[in-house]
Chain A
Amino acid sequence: MTKYLRIFITLLVILAALFAGNWVWNDYMHSPWTRDGRIRAEIITVAPDVSGWVTDLKISDDQVVKEGDLLFSVDRQRYQAALNQSKARTENARYTWELEKHKNERRTALRRQEAISAEDLESSRISTEIAKANYDLAVAEQETAQLNLDRTHVYAPASGHIINLNLRKGNYVGQGASVFAIVQSDSFYVTGYFEETKIPLIHLNQQAKITLLSGGKPLTGHVVSIGKAIANSNTQSNGQLLPQVQQTFNWVRLSQRIPVDIKLDSLPEGTQLSAGMTATIHLAKQ
């Protein structure tokens, strides 16, 4: 009897171990989780629309700005001069047009008395039209000059934090060259790089539990997008347009990592998030 009890107890524990081992294996290998998660945020790069010296810098690094706040101003003298020039040109074109109109009216009267030829009248009418077109052109150029002058003030395109401000008063900034970035407020999200073998277990709106490397309460979120493409290094070509095919091992292949974006639901009080932080992500099993 004791012999059978001995065998029974041992087999029972071995059976339990098989189940337990299987559970641990599935939990690690076949459930949607990754340790390769990063906090991300929407970053807006700010670039001036006109070139020139920075004459007025209203911001400091890491400052919170609201949408529409003045960030900095570019030297406006050149653009003011251009606007003045445009205004003068517009005036010039307007008077030229009025003169042509006046001449045309006079010629219309002369034509009634048959003092001038029909051709002269027609050429005078066309001259008036040309003068009007020149005036319209001058007006359009003045608007552009006005726009350039207005754009010497750079306003915040969105609310957020100023990041990496190396701009100083007196720096020369080029049109379209980014000078610093704004991290948009409350735009934090998490991207998890999941192994491709786990992608079938992931679907949109799946609940996610996010643990930061820094600890603290886990954050919650839900899946909003599953990456539909990642770069394939085999499609690159060399200088002779030949495909650069990577060598691989026949026996061991690394699974690709697919980015999955997770929107954060609500942040617990006092959570400090910075884009780039490391996170571990567990998705709810379905």
Chain B
Amino acid sequence: MLQVAVLGGLEFSPLVVYFPIAFLLAALTRFVLHRLDWYDLIWKVAWFEVSLFVCYLALTVYVLGGR
């Protein structure tokens, strides 16, 4: 349930919080995939990572936005 991000009396869009969370999740996935050597299973790594980030972002918006 994060509708607004308030910092020192300034109101920010919650996306300011959602973006870093999605980025961290994507980075974590990337790290795990590297560790497990599963990157061979991926065809276009750059496409995959961008898509993964978008999916994580949507998930964060859905879960934290309380929708």
Using a CB–CB cutoff of 8 Å, the interface residues on chain A facing chain B are: 2, 5-7, 9-11, 13-14, 16-18, 20-21, 23-24, 27, 35, 211, 213, 215, 218, 278, 280, 282
Contact = CB atoms under 8 A, between A and B. Distances in A.
B41 A6 contact: yes
Contacts of B50: 17
Contacts of B61: 24, 27
A216 to B, nearest CB: 11
A7 to B, nearest CB: 5
Interface of B: 1, 3-4, 6, 11, 13, 40-44, 47-48, 50-55, 57-59, 61-62, 65, 67
> What secondary structure prevails in chain A residues at the interface with B?
helix
B65 to A, nearest CB: 8
B48 A10 contact: yes
The 7 A-B residue pairs with the shortest CB-CB distance in the complex, in nearest-first order: A17-B51, A20-B58, A10-B43, A17-B54, A211-B3, A6-B43, A13-B51
Contact of B43 (A7, A27, A218): A7
> What secondary structure prevails in chain B residues at the interface with A?
helix
B57 A24 contact: yes
A151 B58 CA distance: 64
B54 to A, nearest CB: 4
A24 B13 CA distance: 14
A14 B48 contact: yes
B3 A9 contact: no
A213 B62 CA distance: 20
Contacts of B44: 10
A18 B51 CA distance: 8
A285 to B, nearest CB: 10
B7 to A, nearest CB: 11
Contacts of A11: 43
A280 B65 CA distance: 12
Nearest to B61: A24
Given A10-B48, A13-B52, A16-B51, A35 B42 contact: no
